[in-house]
Amino acid sequence: MPNYSGPEGLELNSSEPLKAREILSRWGLSEGSIAAVVDGTRIDLAAVVKSDSLVEPVLSSSPEGLEILRHSTSHLMAQAVQRLFPGTRLGIGPSIQDGFYYDMEIAGQITEEDLPRIEEEMRKISSEDIPVERLLLPREEALDLFSERDAVYKVELVSEIPDELISLYRQGDFVDLCRGPHVISTSQLKHFKLLSLAGAYWRGDEKNIMLTRIYGTAFDTAEALDDHINRIEEAKRRDHRKLGRELDLFSIQEEGPGFPFFHPKGMVIINRLVDFWRAEHSRRGYAEIRTPLILDQDLWIRSGHWDHYRENMYFTEIDERPFAVKPMNCPGGILVYKSRIRSYREFPMRIAELGTVHRHERSGVLHGLMRVRSFTQDDAHLYVTPEQIKQEIIGIMDLVRFIYRDVFGFSYRVELSTRPEKAMGDPVMWEKAEKALQEALEDFGTDFRVNPGDGAFYGPKIDFHLEDCIGRTWQCGTIQLDFQMPEKFDMTYIGPDGNEHRPVMLHRTVFGSLERFMGILIEHYAGSFPFWLAPVQVRIVPVKEDHIPYAAEVESRLKEIGLRVEKDIRDEKLGKKIRDAQVEKIPFMVVLGAREVENGTLSVRERSEGDLGTMDLSGFEELIRRQPDPVSGRRSTCTC
């Protein structure tokens, strides 16, 4: 008699093998289940479970359940498109964070105006309650099936799968190549929304055909879907590309795709971030360096970047010698370290660099400031003894917490990424490095999760993922523990015993990229930057032309105390000037009329609080001095 075990010691005997949904139903665990986990593997609820198995439910509301739900909805969408656009050829349709997409060669023209029609067809298929079945076909039968359907992309994929049996899923007349698991009926797919269209090269290769990618999302409840759609609308309102244009911060030009142009107001933000970065690093014992943008190709061969990162690099030739534009700052920093003999008395050595790097990103992934080809990393490389590793990592995590949480008001989560498939060095050294990072995280009291196989090619790493005001996450800071580079570059220091020893190298960033961090801040604050970061801090608005001389006096006085001030002397009505200052999200507005000119006072408005009343100039200066400014040590807080 087959025996099944479940959570909390539940046991079930049956006279015959059962399907996963039947087992969960007999235990009273079927409600809300979308799939099952059997002995650690996710399966369809319709799958038959062998005896002596541990069976657990996968709830549709769980991250794993939502992934299945969204993957199934991508199939639903593909079926709808093929019904509406006969002859459409399907590429791939995975679930992604917060949604799904499907790449297709669509027969005929399609625009975003067609998305509601596709949604309606999806609802129709859902209402038909079509069973979703898994098929295991021999390779040749699978190839024949897709060949008969002119599914050329599926034929290509099947040809590369090493398995003798190919996993397919069928719902009515729709068949797709997929490992699953999936829902057991289209009727389970109710709460979805199609979001946008984009172009995508087949298999991400620019040499291949451009397919149409349709993005969508799905949730287990209507309320969760509505909340997500509202967040999307809020994200559109905060889009840094839109705000970058409106606030005149930066632009992306056709002459430099992926290479951002920063305008004067954008440079204010960049320079304030740099000022803060330098001040805080100085407080914490870092020294700053600068290394060349272009270095000899042999250096990159020695560092391992030639073997592991060459496809992302740019190259040039100088005096008939091959050179590379640096994609990372590390090798240059190592040359600074090796410029003279080092002593253990210099350790821990904390060396920081705001280094501009260039990486060849495909045009299809470029995205405003978030994904560019040239950016400035706020790098630091720490050279330490083995005994200093843990304490220095804890020191970096304290810096990260201060900047993310205390200064910018972000919450964040932490991931420990371990040895990737293409990794340099001895696995034993990797294990030692991973253990050191884990112990530092535990000693610091930080919750973290392990991200297997996602480390850098030269060492494991800790990644920090920020959460912004509307719940999106962004990977920014990182700490990488590296035993490999010191070996490759024969880096040494003289220890207390007078002998040469090998240092341990820590790579770390906090902003990650100045450009990307600025993009995140634009969206986090929706352009309403805290006072210390605002490109224009005070806008002076004289009511009439004869109030302009007093406005000039106030402007001069405020500039003397270091404020970024503009006066609006346009021939416009007062209401328009006030509205324009509000649209430009300027923190303070000073309105000067006849009464203010006569009394030597200011009528002050604050961006979020509105009218603050009338005050003299010294009172306004005192108000300004109370504004947070982390460059000077006065802590800032999130104002999103």
Q: How are strands ordered across the β-sheet holding 588-592? A: 565-567, 538-542, 588-592, 601-606, 610-616
Question: Residue 422's pLDDT is what?
Answer: 76
- What is the band of 308 on the pLDDT scale with cuts at 50, 70, 90? confident
Query: Cα(186)–Cα(124) distance, rounded to whole angstroms?
Result: 10
Catalytically active residues are 330, 359, 377, 379, 381, 461, 507
Domain CATH number, residue 572: 3.40.50.800
Instruction: Examine the pLDDT at 75 and tell me if it is beyond 50.
Output: yes
Average pLDDT, the chain: 92
* Interval 594-620 mean pLDDT: 95
Contact between residue 541 and residue 589 where contact means Cβ atoms under 8 Å apart = yes
Query: Cα(242)–Cα(44) distance, rounded to whole angstroms?
Result: 43
Query: Cα(383)–Cα(351) distance, rounded to whole angstroms?
Result: 8
Evaluated on CA atoms 111, 113, 115, 117, the torsion sign reads negative
Asked if the structure places residue 632 within a domain, the reply is no
Asked if the structure places residue 635 within a domain, the reply is no
Asked if the structure places residue 235 within a domain, the reply is no
Residue with tokens 């919750």: 447
Question: Residue 52's pLDDT is what?
Answer: 81
Asked if the structure places residue 189 within a domain, the reply is yes
From residue 50, alpha-carbon distances to 43, 120, 189, 242, 490 in Å are 12, 40, 28, 55, 56
Token pair of 7, please? 């959570």
Domain CATH number, residue 195: 3.30.980.10
Range of the domain at 164: 64-228
Question: Residue 1's pLDDT is what?
Answer: 61
Question: Residue 482's pLDDT is what?
Answer: 86
Instruction: Examine the pLDDT at 31 and tell me if it is beyond 70.
Output: yes
Domain CATH number, residue 40: 3.10.20.30
Per-residue pLDDT tens for 202-247? 998 888 999 999 999 999 999 999 999 999 999 999 999 999 999 9
Question: Residue 456's pLDDT is what?
Answer: 76
484 and 543 both lie in a single domain: no
55 and 69 both lie in a single domain: no
Per-residue pLDDT tens for 530-586? 999 999 999 999 999 999 999 999 999 999 999 999 999 999 999 999 999 999 999
Asked if the structure places residue 638 within a domain, the reply is no
Considering only CA atoms, which of 465, 389, 461, 479 is closest in space to residue 418? 461
In the chain, what is the straight-line distance between the N-terminal and C-terminal CA atoms, in Å? 61
Cβ atoms within 10 Å of 613's Cβ, excluding its own: 10
From residue 214, alpha-carbon distances to 94, 103, 211, 305 in Å are 11, 7, 10, 35
Question: Residue 640's pLDDT is what?
Answer: 46
Question: Residue 174's pLDDT is what?
Answer: 96
What is the DSSP annotation of 299-344? HHHHHTHHHHSGGG-EEEEETTEEEEE-S-SHHHHHHHHTTS--BG
Query: Cα(566)–Cα(370) distance, rounded to whole angstroms?
Result: 30
309 and 397 both lie in a single domain: yes
Which one-letter amino acid corresponds to residue 589? M
Per-residue pLDDT tens for 152-167? 999 999 999 998 999 9
Domain count, the chain: 4
Note if the bond before 348 is cis, omega within 30 degrees: yes
266 and 411 both lie in a single domain: yes
Predicted TM-score (pTM) of this structure:
0.83
- What is the band of 365 on the pLDDT scale with cuts at 50, 70, 90? confident
378 and 518 both lie in a single domain: yes
H or E stretch including 480? strand 473-482
Per-residue pLDDT tens for 99-148? 999 999 998 889 999 999 999 999 999 999 999 999 999 999 999 999 99
Q: Which residues pair with 412 in a beta bridge?
A: 466
Close Cβ partners of 217 (under 8 Å, ≥ 6 residues apart): 70, 98, 99, 100, 192, 193, 195, 225, 228
* Interval 501-516 mean pLDDT: 95
What length does the chain have? 640
327 and 343 both lie in a single domain: yes
Instruction: Examine the pLDDT at 638 and tell me if it is beyond 50.
Output: no
Domain CATH number, residue 511: 3.30.930.10
